[in-house]
Amino acid sequence: MYVILVYDVAVERVAKVLQVGRKYLTWVQNSVLEGELTPAQFARLKAELKRTADPSDAIRFYVLPNKNALQVEVLGTSRNEPSQII
């Protein structure tokens, strides 16, 4: 599955949420990560973020069957692309 993670969390948790997200996904823009995950990886990501986040934080997951189901258009500079993983 292809997952897009978007978050809006308190300043004191931004770095921690990003750190957890980057274990599984590629950072592509401020507060946005994306990439291919297995169902088990997705479950682990959600569990880690649940422990990290506060109920007042907002974390969204957009789940697609695969990357081919996604069309992305970028205006301006693209910071990072999931295909750039080393």
What contacts 24+ positions apart, CB below 8 Å, involve 77-85? 78/28, 79/27, 79/28, 79/29, 80/26, 80/27, 80/28, 80/29, 81/26, 81/28, 82/25, 82/26, 82/28, 82/34, 82/35, 82/36, 84/26, 85/26
8 annotated ligand binder: yes
Question: Annotated binding site: which residue ranges?
Answer: 8
Question: Annotated binding site for Mg(2+): which residue ranges?
Answer: 8
